[in-house]
Structure 1
Amino acid sequence: MVKLNSKDTYQVIKDDYRDDDYSLFSLYLPIVGYRSIALYKLLISESYKRVIVENHDRLCILLNISIDDLYEARLRLEEVMLLKTFNKENKYLYQIISPLSANVFLTNEFLTNELLKAIGVEQYEITATKFLSDKISTIDYKDITSKFVDGISNKFDNEVVFSQIKPIFDFKDINNEDIDFNYEYFIRNTSDLVFPIEARNETNLRLIGKLATLYGISEDTMSILVGRCSSYENGTLDISKLKVLARRQKPEKTEHEDPYMLSPVAFLQNKQNGIPVTSVDAKLLNYLSLQLNLKHEVINVLIEYVLDINQNKLPKNYVEKIAGEWVRENIDSKEKAIKKTKQTSFSQPKTLVLPEYYSNEIVEDSDLDIDDEKVQELKDRLKRI
């Protein structure tokens, strides 16, 4: 290791440099520290006059640090590949390397582990979440990257393994479910003020997607609804209020080449000639989707079946009875549901018939008619008693 002397000279080059302060300060700074970042930015400014040769005293004076501290700061930059150093006797040539973009940084196992050790799991999740709006989805892709061992750091004792840490939300897990919702578009177009970072956890995001799919709500409209239910000061989302607002929302997605793939609310609305779904029916559909976790195509087959056999009515208890049976029998596709309706003859809900006399008008008995003379006679008899 070549010892650095304050009288050693230096020059700086930064060919093909790409500035990225967001990545530099949010991702690199916690790892290398403020002195290294200050040195990095100072070297960039020094590169504009590359013909001038200075000694390291200048850097120490401008940064107000010792030569030893300068040396340590330089090493940290080299470790995270922000700087290359070339030496010839007492001359140094520093080559500035552009910081990785957030997307690339967060896929680098070494750098991510260093960031985890520096800021902890909670802050890492928040930091990762901030950058996911620009993250390219890898859904449906297979990772075939060859593995390598990075020799820069072997200090992995007592640390959290990178593969076990996920951002606050994971599109891959959520999109595997029966959810028709563009999370990346939603996150990209919903600011932190509207939907606080702290509230962007897996539970809330899964519910948002389920509600949007159930009620046929677009990503833009859902962003507005979420904003009405969020508290920026407390970093929370009122999910009860969100459910109510979503239930009141008119479906925006009402057409599909396969009508069974529509949201259940839109499907039922189409079944009743575009008339909005009642709150009672909306709550029933909510139960089937959010509580029983039936797929929407299955719910739609169930809706159609019950309407056909029950004079366009949806008796709550009857629907829940069939739904419960389908859950137990693992009816999880449109094809299975249609096959089930053809195989099974469900007993229709009983309709109580009122006795005939209940609906007949009450007819006065003519024998009870009393004329005025009889009334007067009764009054006279009462007086004599």
Structure 2
Amino acid sequence: MLQSWREVLPGDHYTVRADGLLHYYDQKIMTQLYQPLVGIESTSLYFTLWQETEHGQSGQAATHHHLMGMMNLSLDRILKARKKLEAVGLLRTLKKKDSDPVFFMYLLVPPLTPNQFFNDGLLNVFLYHQVGSRDYNRLSKRFLEKPLDAENFEDLSAAFDEVFESIPASEFSRDLEGRGRWEDHAHPQKLRFQNHFDFSQLKSYLSDAIISEDALTDKVRGAIEKLACVYQTDPFDMSRAVESASLHTGTVDIEMLRKEVRDYYRLEHGPNEMPALYERTQPAEASEMAGKVPQNEEEQLISWYETNSPYQLLEELGHGSKPAAPDLRLVENLMFDTKLNPGVINVLIDYISKVNDNNLNKSFVEKVAAQWSRENVRTVREAMSVARDEKKKYTQQKQRAGTKEAAGRKKQGRVRSEVVPEWMKEQNRADGKHQTGVTEEEAKKRAKWLEDYLNSI
């Protein structure tokens, strides 16, 4: 369960401001481009907060209990929806210091324009994976304007100085300083990443003969950070892509950089594979140890499972080596097909690795994952409890199977000893001699029969 009371309470007050100009066209962008990424509850929260703004002016303060009633959602689900909006750059949450009662200010950020979204390099990639190539192409055609074909037209537009004349400075008293709201709309909030890309390591891999440090501008760094997040590219592989994208020019072509990283990813994972968007660590609503200090070994293990991603667990199991592509695809499919939380998947992978001799058999993993999904295992502690029960059952079944097999062998041994003919015992006592009254021809027949009999058993 999400312990939302650690961050916000129903009685805490809040107010909403628009951090830029919100336009009715943004509603289409929200529902068709952002909703597939953040979900219906996050989109609903955005629109609900939007209604509480007055053209960018602060509205009346309200409590979160009011918001719970308006959306008919628990505070846990509202907090989860809020964090998703924050993650994609649609909301900024500010908390007033030393305020009693606690006071929040929610700043609604306008969504990216269609051109910005489809050239973002991060959000558009995840949209492609979420909706598929057909719907993605349909959306891009709907939102992206085609360049105007003005080849057969003559430009008759008037020049500025044809219409206006200069105004004396003494007659112009307006304050021109400061950014307007329309300009705010054109400069959306920059996405933040908790795990920053190691640019110092990237520079150590780059060749000075191909690219200089000055070529890593802020725009290029932003693109590298997004690409590294989307495609899980390490500094070494990124350095090869950067050098390829700057070959012969000395400047990094961002479009070429995207192509290089994307091609490398497809080479590793398959020609039709695209990365998926998923919460990399255990979500807050299912975390038990958030903000707590582990008191024993079990709590330390729970904390590790909650704060590390399945990717990091696979690295641990591989003693620091990069996880294999089939294992990564398996984990990604588990997240989308079974909807298990990353912390639960950590326990699942670790458990199966131990009981199955470090072999992550796809069908076995998916079978156990489907069972855990049906049992609605959501937290790490629940997953550990189920894993213990499964291990106990597995051990008992193995013991029973071993007992049955031993009993079967014993029974089979008794049956074979019972059907041995009496004359075979006499044969062993004959010391190689024929019995009295047995002709040589009959002895040959019996020897042939004995050979056939022994072959048959």
**TM-score tier (shorter):** 0.3 to 0.5
TM superposition score normalised by structure 2: 0.31
Query: RCO (CA 8 Å, sep 6+): is it higher in 1 or 2?
Result: 2
